[in-house]
Amino acid sequence: MAILVTGATGNVGRLVVDELLRAAAPYVRALTVNPTRAALPQGVDVAKGYVGRPESLDGVFDGIDTVYLAPVPAVAREVAVLARDAGVSRFVTLTGGPGTEWHGIEADVEASGLDCTHLEPGEFMANATIFAEQIRTTGRVLGAYPTAANAPVALEDIAAVAARTLLDDSHTGRTYELTGPESLTHPRIVHEIGRALGRDVPFVEVPRGEAETVLADAMGEYGGWYLDGRAALVDHPQVPTTAVGVVLGRPATTFAQWADANVDLFR
């Protein structure tokens, strides 16, 4: 089976490449705009291009059976048709749940007639790095909506599920909502980072406007959008799913494990 990984230096795509190599996938092609800078590992065939620019995909799908599709909503429909016409039979897409900017990718790709498996991750655990600068410089976190809760998922778990579903076509037709194992508030997340650091890191509730100002350092214009999402979680906390465990046959990574593994980001 020949697999193409698009967005192959991305946060998810790069880990998908590693997982496929670890699983001894027979053939892996990785797509990047700059093969030299990408420095992809031995055992990967590197192709030049970007899914966001379909005109750069000439020949990229030749000989490929299955594609990991990085999320670029504007071109998903066009890319799927190009892939289908080049002989690809199946896509594993990274999208998002209903209401997110990525969700339309699912219908766009299915319109091509390709077999599909859709992965809908929620917030990434790595998003906790939005607190890193505050923790480093002030030892605490100023934020809003302290009771809002969701179940962030580890990038490594998303990539492991992607690799497993790329290699096993029995997942065709399935959509997996990927979350971590527990629904957590920001005070709890900050507490876990503090535990990993070996000191108390308080979460201090401040008015929404002040939280947005503080967040702008890490998220720029997306700070307001992010806080809108937190506000919605106050009355509708995200319920964790079991999809990671079901697909991988092992428990999903906990935030405590993630914090221990990534504690240096907060020192």
Ligand X SMILES: NC(=O)c1ccc[n+]([C@@H]2O[C@H](COP(=O)([O-])OP(=O)(O)OC[C@H]3O[C@@H](n4cnc5c(N)ncnc54)[C@H](OP(=O)(O)O)[C@@H]3O)[C@@H](O)[C@H]2O)c1
Identify which range of 11-19, 81-89, 245-253, 257-265 contacts ligand X by CB under 6 A. Answer: 11-19
Number of residues this chain uses to bind ligand X (CB under 6 A): 22
According to the binding rule CB under 6 A, does residue 38 interact with ligand X? yes
Q: Which of 93, 87, 120, 82 is nearest to 16 (CA)?
A: 93
Closest-CA residue to 158 (of 227, 95, 77, 103): 95
**Which of these, 87, 89, 69, lies nearest to 79 by C-alpha position?**
69
Residue 76 exposure: Cα atoms within 13 Å on the Cβ side: 27
Using DSSP bridges, classify how beta strands 149-150 and 141-143 pair: parallel, antiparallel or unpaired: unpaired
- CA 183, 184, 185, 186 dihedral sign is negative
Nearest distance from residue 102's CB to ligand X, in Å? 5
Sign of CA dihedral 199, 205, 208, 213: negative
Q: How far is the CB of 152 from ligand X (least distance, A)?
A: 8
d(CA 86, CA 177): 29
Window 217 to 246, contacts with ligand X (CB under 6 A): none
Confirm or reject binding of residue 52 to ligand X (CB under 6 A). yes
Q: Which residues from 79-118 bind ligand X, rule CB under 6 A?
A: 94, 96, 102
Q: How far is the CB of 144 from ligand X (least distance, A)?
A: 19
Q: Should residue 50 be labelled a site residue for ligand X when binding is judged by CB under 6 A?
A: yes
Stretch that binds ligand X, among 10-18, 172-180, 196-204, 231-239 (CB under 6 A): 10-18
Q: Does residue 9 belong to the site contacting ligand X (CB under 6 A)?
A: yes
Q: Which is nearer to ligand X, 67 or 70 (CB)?
A: 70
In the complex, minimum distance from the CB of residue 199 to ligand X, in angstroms, rounded to a whole number: 28
Q: How many whole angstroms separate alpha carbon 23 and alpha carbon 224?
A: 40
- Chain centre to alpha carbon of residue 170: 22
**Residue number with CB closer to ligand X (120 or 192):** 120
Contact 5, 20 (CB under 8 A): yes
Could you tell me which stretch among 1-9, 83-91, 164-172, 186-194 binds ligand X (CB under 6 A)? 1-9
How far apart CA 17 and CA 54 sit, in angstroms, is: 21
Does residue 54 interact with ligand X by CB under 6 A?
A: no
- Shortest Å, Cβ 179 to ligand X: 10
CB 179 within 8 Å of CB 251? no
Tokens of 249: 């046959």
Using the rule CB under 6 A, which residue among 25, 60, 112, 124 binds ligand X? 124
**145 makes contact with ligand X (CB under 6 A):** no
Among residues 22, 26, 33, 245, which is the contact residue for ligand X, using CB under 6 A?
Answer: 33
Within 13 Å of residue 190, how many CA atoms lie on the same side as its CB?
25
CB of 8 to ligand X, least distance (A): 6
Summarize as ranges the residues that interact with ligand X (CB under 6 A).
Answer: 7-13, 32-34, 38, 50, 52, 70-71, 94, 96, 102, 121-124
